[in-house]
Structures are given as C-alpha cells and as structure tokens.
Chain A
Amino acid sequence: MNNGRLWGSIATTLLGLCLSGCTVDEKCDALSACGGNVMLGADKDFVLNDGLVDAEYWAYRGDECQDELFTPPAQNTLLAQPTHLAREVPPERSSADWCQNLVIRSDRTIKRVNLWFPEIPLRDAKLTFSAPDQGSYMGSYQIQFNYSKAMRADFSKQCMEAQGVVFATQELRDSTGKILDHGCEEFSHAMSTVLKTEPNVSSVECHPGPQEGCSCIYNMLIVTGVTGAWRRKPDSSLMVLYDDLDTPPAPADYCAQASGELDMTGHDRTWLWNQQGLRTLKFKRSTCTDHKQNEGEGGVDCGGPCPNACP
C-alpha cells in the first residue's frame, strides 16, 4: 500500500493518544503538602503534663478518604484440613457461611458468631501532638480512631434450625399462656446475652428477616489508638510517624495552616498510621468555639485553655 507511511503515522498517533489518556482516576487524591508547624499557637500542656505544649486536632466522618477495601472472610472450611494426597482433588474454595459462623451450644447460648462484616467506616479521630523537647527533633503524639456503623446480619431459617432454634409462625405458648418460643425473640435474647461481654457491639435486636429467618441489627463501635513519636525534617512537608509497637514507620505528607487546618496524606500512597485503607485525613484544630469539649477544656468551650470560665 502506497499510503503505508500515512497509515503508520495515524496508527502511532492514535496509540500514543490512547496510552496517554487511559489512566484510571484514583479514588483518593493527595491533599495539600505544604509542611508548616503543627504546633503553631500551642501554649498549653494539657495531655501528658510533661511540661511540653500540646496541640489537638479532630477529624470527622467525611474528612477521611479510605480505599474501598474488601477483606474476604477467612476460608474456615480450609483450616486444619489434612494435606491432600497426590491426585486427590483439594477442597474447593467457598465464599462465606450463610450462618455467619454461628455456633449455638446445647444450652442454647451462643458460642460464636461473626458480626464483623462489612468494613466499618471511620466516625472520628482525635490527634494530639506534643512538642519536641528542647534539643530534640522528635515529639510525641497520640491518635484515637473511632469506627462505627449500624450493621445488619441475616440468619436464614435453615441455618438457625440446624442449630436447634425452633421457629413458628405463631408464638408457641404453654397452657398458662407463657411464650415458650418465638424464633427471633429468643434468638435476639441469646444474641444480646452473648454480646453483652463484647464491648464493640451494642443495641442488638433481631426480627423476622429474609429467607424466613432472623435479621439482627446492631451497632458496631471500634475504638483503636496509636501512640508514638513524630518527627519532621526542617523545611519539609514530610512527617514520619513512629508508633510504640515498633511497626514500620508511617511517613505522611502534611500541610498545617495558620487557620488550624491540617491535611495529612500517606506518603507515596501508603496508609496513614498503618490503618487499613486510610489514605488521607483532614483535621481541624480544636478551638474554644467548636462547640466540643476538647483540648483540656473543663466543659464545652469553657475552662482549661479557654478564656471563658465554666459556669
């Protein structure tokens, strides 16, 4: 073909255009990274009482960007299985148990149930920096993450009947009219009882649900914290966060502004404080006008560092 060069040029151009324009957008864009002084304006020691001033920041739901990670449930059926012999087909992989790994003892108390799915989002986080000691480059910090979500777990009828739960479309009563069994009510009671000892779960209620079984709703709250030391290079926007558990350092790009806003982004797409999937957080400095009791205040926006004394 005489026009070979022409077509070759067109093809090359199109290929180049495609290659340059086909990247997929990231879910979490990096926040600003201007560096700055996270201790700006701090003049009180209200956390450790160690003579070093502290600065407190808060972030709330919506201020974070987390990767939408999915941690598949453990393949329970594959645990502790004997090694299969040559030419023996190994057990197939499976998805998850319709019964949430429920195990009910013979006395009808619940021995085990897995209520940890799906992933629980961040509710808020409190970050407190303590200034570096004189002559030191490293200060200390502590951060508390609160994750919460209203959750739901469905238990099918077959699943519960296999565990000895008796279902009836009508309440089962004895001759005196006392309710003997009502499927979900009893199950709800058993769930509440067993989960009383579980600090992360509250407000358990079970009602008739899909697949003729019970649907339980509950609140899940997970509180976790990290303490450690922070260090920043002078004239740099990179802060390195060490924790007291000696996990690998978590470098972060940050921007602390005079307005009290603090942007933090996991450096090089790493997770902030090694929290799973946590890529960015936008903090705000605690003030005496934020309608919250924080930063050593005696009440809401009064006492402590605030000019207004508490009534």
Chain B
Amino acid sequence: MKTLTMKHHTLWLTLGVACLLSLNAQAQSTEGDSSQPAGDTTTSAGSDLSAGASLGASGSTESDHASADAAVNSDTKSAAEKKTDVAPAAQGATDADAKPQGKAAFSNSEASKGLTAALGDWHLTLYGYAALNAMYDTTQSFTQGIYNNLVKRPGTYAGDHDSFQLSVRDSRLGLKIGAPPSGDIKASAVIEMDFNGLQPAEFTEHDKTIQNPIRMRHYYMQIQTPVVDVLAGQYFDLFGWGGKGFFPSTLSFLGLTGEVYNREAQLRISKTLSSEAIDFEVAVAATRPAQRASGVPDFQAGLRLAVNGWATARQQGYGQPSMGPLAIGVSGITRRFEVAEFLPNPMDAKVDRAFGYAVDAFIPVIPVKSAEKRSNALALTGEFSSGGGIGDLYTELSGGLLFPTLPNPSDKVPPPTYPQNVDSGYVTYDGNGQLQMVKWQGLVANIQYYLPIADGKVWISGSYAQSFSSNLRSLTPLPARGAVATKSQYMDASLFFAWTEALQTGVGFQTVKQTYADGVEARDNRTELGMHFFF
C-alpha cells in the first residue's frame, strides 16, 4: 500500500512539473528568453509579464524552516510590496500598473526565484526549493524540528544518547496561479506543499525518512478589490501576523519554542491603507476552530503598521534575504470551547472562551538600500504572545498535558473512559471538575547581521525564545507531573552563506532546556547543516 502511495505521489509530481516546464519551454520558444537577474524584483515584473515566461521573478517560498508567506501575498500589502514580493505571474499583468516610483521594494518572503509561464492572460509560477538538512542531537528527543516538543528526561535511554538525521522532507514545491483581472478585481491562488505529511506509526525509520508523503501547506485563493482584499483557504494565522515579515532568521525549523506559527483554513478580510511613508493594515479572520464541537469558528484580528522609508535586508527562517521595513503588528484571538463534561457518559458540556494576544516587531537597526548589496545590514525581530487555550497556535505545544483519568469509584472493569471531544493540551479539567484553559506565554527575540563580505553574502543570526505556562503544573495530577514541562528556553546561533543566487548553506547550533513540573531539567543540543537550492 505504501508503495502505491509513493508511486501515486511521484507520478503526480512528475506530471505537474513536466506540465509546467513544458509550458515554460513553449512560452520561451515563442516569446524568447526573458530571464532576468535574480532579485531584481523591482524591474522584473514588467519584463516578465511582457515576455510571458521567465526564469527569475520573485516567487516566494516559505517553510517550517524557511518561513515566509508563500507567494501571492499581495492581499494586504502596499502597492510597492505587491509589486515586488509577489510573483509577477501570479499577480497578473495589472500589477505593473500599481508600481509606485521611488519606493523601496519590500518582501515578506524569501523572494526566491520561480519558473514562470504565461498562458494568455493566465500566469503560472512554479517555485520552491530542494533542501537537505543534517541534524546532530545530543538526545533522541526529536524527529525533524525541535519546535515545542518535549526533550527526553535525563536518565532515560533517549535522554542520554545522541542521534543524527539527514532529511530532505523540508523540500518544497509551490504553484502560483494568477487569473486574468476583471476590472479592478484580481484573483489568484497558491498551492504549496512539502513532504512532512503524517505517516502511520508502523512505518520503519527508513520509510519515514525516504518515503515522505506530501503535506498541504498553503492552499488559498486571494481576491483583491479596491475596497478590501479577501483571502480564503489555508494560510498562516492572522494571530502573530504569520507571513508578514516577523519570522526570525534562523537555521532552525520554524516555529521556534514559544513562537506563534500555525496555518489554518480561514476566511480573511483585510484593508491596507498605503502611502509612500507608511502602510497600515487592518485584518479580521474567521478560522477553523480548535474544536469543531465548539460550534463556531475562531476569530482573529490584527493591526499592522510598516514604515516604508526605514528598511533593511532580512531573512526569515532560512529563506533568501529580502528587504523589509520597520513594522509592528498586534493581533488577538478569541475562541470558544464546548467540552463534554468530565463524566463517562456526558450529556452536557462545559463552555468557556479563550483569549490570546501577540505583539510582533521588526526593527531595521542598520538600513540598507537593497537586498543584493546588504553589507552591514542589521535587524532585530521580536514577538511576545500570551493567552489561554491557544497551545495549538504554537507548533506542537502541549507541554505533554493530557486529560486526567476518570475516577473509578465503583471499581468497574473495564474502567470508564472519558469521551474526549477536544484535542489534548488546550484545556483540561481540574480536580473539581472545572474546565480550565492552559495558559501559555511565548517570547522570541532575534538578531541578524550581514557581514561586510561579498556584499553581505555571509551573515549571522542569533535567537532567544521561551515558552512558559503558569498553570500547567497545578492542572496536572501529582502522579503525572513528571510528564509535563512547564518551561522551555531556547537559544540558537546560525551562520549563512549565499554561494550563488540560488544556492545557500547554513550551519547552526541550537540548544533547548526544559523544566518538568517535578523540577527535573532536560536539555538537548543540536548542530545543524542546511543546504538549499531555491528556484
């Protein structure tokens, strides 16, 4: 069965790529080679679009590693951003009209290259990257990313022995489709995937590494109108302003410990008030609820302010550096939980509402004029977030919390089980049967600096991040406290090299320390090498 699945995926991919490449080749053969210098995004759009096909242009990829908003992020960006950080193909020819003069070219993506083809008024861009990640860990706690997973306790075999992994699972493939505009209305779509799909537990280690199922990352449509922009589909949460330039520069897989990093199916409406000096964006979104039994979607809202005249080069995740303006974003979420009563046969539910907020900032300390000549560029990124019942908005964050065991006062065999109707880790029942939100606080601080070598083609970054729960310990019955971690502290340092326009390599050191609720501390140190070919 798994062989069939693999063949199916491979066939699908092969057909897709072959189709797109043939389109590209056809366009090139009929309209000439219009390839352009990489990164020349301010001038690429017009030539791209007129040529109909090109190598170059700014398709964007983003990863759990190399983050960034995929591709057609023109939804709420300023005219300048729309012009430059979105794949011309996906934007459609009308983008050229929106190009302001004399405004910096900003991007919330890695601005990687894309293979672009035009079919009449339709535009397609294939983008992504081939990745190889090598990770050495001092424990056997993680599969690929550290995220917010638990570090194995010292004194256990997995906690005392090391591991090494080579993985290509983070490789990425994306397709951007730009439809012909209709008056002032532009529509586009992005489908993006990687190879981190879930695998059955009975897979062997070999299969888990080699036969990687495709995972849906971004699947969304985007509609731009003169009044508002609409995004419908799966994309980063508005909470934390994912994909809007606030991800840290790091070789580590995103999200970092305590970093808001999540994608959800959503319907988002936004409006950006744009000028030469600033962009001000307001957005609201209804997203997939954390618990479908809640009966209502989650609601998110955010404000973002960008100062366009103050920008510098910056990298998100391990993506390719691009320009980003000074920006600050605030966002919030509220969601409803309707959890079955803590009884063997519940007939009623406990209802409570969760809230959370996040503040994000990107500060270009030493500005530069372009992402291509970025020597001495220095930037800071930070995020603080807090809330209850929002653990799913941080990657794989639960602290190890499970619902308590149902009491069995009548000593029944088999014992009664609780028909749980919400995933573990968001809420739980205390000793008195009261529904309680698990509170979490997250903090991320990041610095990146581009060395004055080869126009900044060598750069360094460092991060500190932490997550902390003030009530996880008290919400865990005493005998189980050794299984939950209430605090994680994470630090990393990365060094990147851009060998060519497309080829980038990074080496990094990451360390994470976790404190279990019984006081035991566990630590993992990771050394990572990442090689990426962006297209």
- Assuming the contacts A14-B507, A19-B527, A93-B402, asked whether A163 and B409 have C-beta atoms less than 8 A apart, the reply is yes
- Assuming the contacts A18-B509, A22-B511, A154-B478, asked whether A79 and B414 have C-beta atoms less than 8 A apart, the reply is yes
B482 contacts A19, CB within 8 Å? no
Residue B526 is within 8 A (CB to CB) of chain A in the complex: yes
Chain A interface residues (CB < 8 Å from chain B): 1, 3-4, 7, 10-11, 14-15, 18-19, 22-24, 26-27, 67-73, 75-82, 91-104, 111-112, 114, 117-118, 152-159, 162-163, 210-213, 269, 277
A97 contacts B155, CB within 8 Å? no
B157 (CB) vs chain A CBs: closest residue = A269
- Assuming the contacts A1-B500, A18-B509, asked whether A94 and B138 have C-beta atoms less than 8 A apart, the reply is no
Residues of A within 8 A of B476 (CB): 95-96
Give chain A's interface secondary structure class: loop
Distance between B439 CB and nearest chain A CB, rounded to angstroms: 17
Partner of A98, one of B458, B477, B481: B477
A73 contacts B415, CB within 8 Å? no
**6 tightest Cβ-Cβ pairs between the two chains A and B:** A67-B155, A156-B431, A70-B482, A117-B479, A22-B525, A95-B480
A2 (CB) vs chain B CBs: closest residue = B454
B431 contacts A211, CB within 8 Å? yes
Residue B136 is within 8 A (CB to CB) of chain A in the complex: yes
Residues of B within 8 A of A96 (CB): 404-405, 476-480
- Assuming the contacts A1-B499, A70-B518, A75-B405, asked whether A22 and B414 have C-beta atoms less than 8 A apart, the reply is no
In the complex, besides A24-B138, A77-B406, 12 extra interface pairs with C-beta distance below 8 angstroms are: A4-B499, A18-B509, A71-B482, A75-B405, A76-B415, A79-B413, A95-B476, A95-B483, A95-B484, A98-B431, A100-B479, A269-B160
Tell me the chain B residues, 319-370 only, with Cβ under 8 Å from chain A.
none
Residues of B within 8 A of A157 (CB): 431-432
Tell me the chain B residues, 400-459 only, with Cβ under 8 Å from chain A.
401-411, 413-418, 420, 424, 430-433, 453-454, 457-458
In the complex the two chains form, what is the Cα distance from A27 to B520 in whole Å?
11
In the complex the two chains form, what is the Cα distance from A112 to B527 in whole Å?
50
Distance between A187 CB and nearest chain B CB, rounded to angstroms: 14
Residue B523 is within 8 A (CB to CB) of chain A in the complex: yes
Residues of A within 8 A of B523 (CB): 24
B409 contacts A104, CB within 8 Å? yes
A23 (CB) vs chain B CBs: closest residue = B138
A112 contacts B430, CB within 8 Å? no
B407 contacts A22, CB within 8 Å? no
B431 (CB) vs chain A CBs: closest residue = A156
Residues of A within 8 A of B406 (CB): 77, 94, 97
A72 contacts B483, CB within 8 Å? yes
In the complex the two chains form, what is the Cα distance from A162 to B431 in whole Å?
12
A112 (CB) vs chain B CBs: closest residue = B411
Distance between A209 CB and nearest chain B CB, rounded to angstroms: 10
Residues of B within 8 A of A213 (CB): 431-432
B524 contacts A97, CB within 8 Å? no
In the complex the two chains form, what is the Cα distance from A7 to B401 in whole Å?
45
Tell me the chain B residues, 134-189 only, with Cβ under 8 Å from chain A.
136, 138-139, 153-156, 160, 162
In the complex the two chains form, what is the Cα distance from A14 to B527 in whole Å?
10
Specify which of B160, B162, B413, B507 lies most central, judged by the most chain A CB atoms within 10 Å of its CB.
B507
Residues of B within 8 A of A11 (CB): 495, 497, 505, 507, 529
A92 contacts B414, CB within 8 Å? no
In the complex the two chains form, what is the Cα distance from A211 to B483 in whole Å?
22
Residues of B within 8 A of A69 (CB): 153, 155-156
Residues of A within 8 A of B453 (CB): 3
B420 (CB) vs chain A CBs: closest residue = A92
B527 contacts A18, CB within 8 Å? yes
B424 contacts A92, CB within 8 Å? yes
Partner of B483, one of A70, A98, A159: A70
Partner of B526, one of A15, A22, A117: A22
In the complex the two chains form, what is the Cα distance from A23 to B139 in whole Å?
9
Residues of B within 8 A of A27 (CB): 154-155
In the complex the two chains form, what is the Cα distance from A132 to B52 in whole Å?
92
Specify which of A24, A76, A159 lies most central, judged by the most chain B CB atoms within 10 Å of its CB.
A24
B409 contacts A154, CB within 8 Å? no
Specify which of A95, A102, A117 lies most central, judged by the most chain B CB atoms within 10 Å of its CB.
A95
In the complex the two chains form, what is the Cα distance from A210 to B432 in whole Å?
10
Residues of A within 8 A of B524 (CB): 24
Distance between B456 CB and nearest chain A CB, rounded to angstroms: 12
Distance between B494 CB and nearest chain A CB, rounded to angstroms: 10
Interface 1/0s, chain B 488-523, versus A by CB < 8 A? 000000010111100001010101000010101001
In the complex the two chains form, what is the Cα distance from A162 to B407 in whole Å?
9
A103 contacts B457, CB within 8 Å? no
B405 contacts A97, CB within 8 Å? yes
Residues of B within 8 A of A73 (CB): 405, 479-480
- Assuming the contacts A95-B405, A95-B480, asked whether A1 and B411 have C-beta atoms less than 8 A apart, the reply is no
Distance between A149 CB and nearest chain B CB, rounded to angstroms: 13
In the complex the two chains form, what is the Cα distance from A82 to B414 in whole Å?
8
In the complex the two chains form, what is the Cα distance from A23 to B408 in whole Å?
45
B476 (CB) vs chain A CBs: closest residue = A95
Residues of A within 8 A of B505 (CB): 11
In the complex the two chains form, what is the Cα distance from A104 to B409 in whole Å?
7
Residues of B within 8 A of A212 (CB): 432
Residues of B within 8 A of A70 (CB): 153, 482-483, 516, 518, 520
A161 (CB) vs chain B CBs: closest residue = B432
Distance between A18 CB and nearest chain B CB, rounded to angstroms: 4
Residues of B within 8 A of A76 (CB): 405, 408, 415
| Chain A to chain B contacts (Cβ below 8 Å), 26 pairs | A11-B529, A14-B495, A15-B529, A18-B527, A22-B509, A23-B525, A24-B139, A24-B523, A26-B160, A70-B518, A71-B482, A73-B479, A77-B418, A82-B414, A92-B417, A94-B403, A95-B483, A96-B476, A96-B480, A97-B405, A98-B431, A111-B411, A118-B518, A156-B432, A162-B407, A212-B432
In the complex the two chains form, what is the Cα distance from A154 to B474 in whole Å?
11
Residues of A within 8 A of B401 (CB): 95
Distance between B310 CB and nearest chain A CB, rounded to angstroms: 30
B478 (CB) vs chain A CBs: closest residue = A117
In the complex the two chains form, what is the Cα distance from A23 to B138 in whole Å?
6
A95 (CB) vs chain B CBs: closest residue = B480
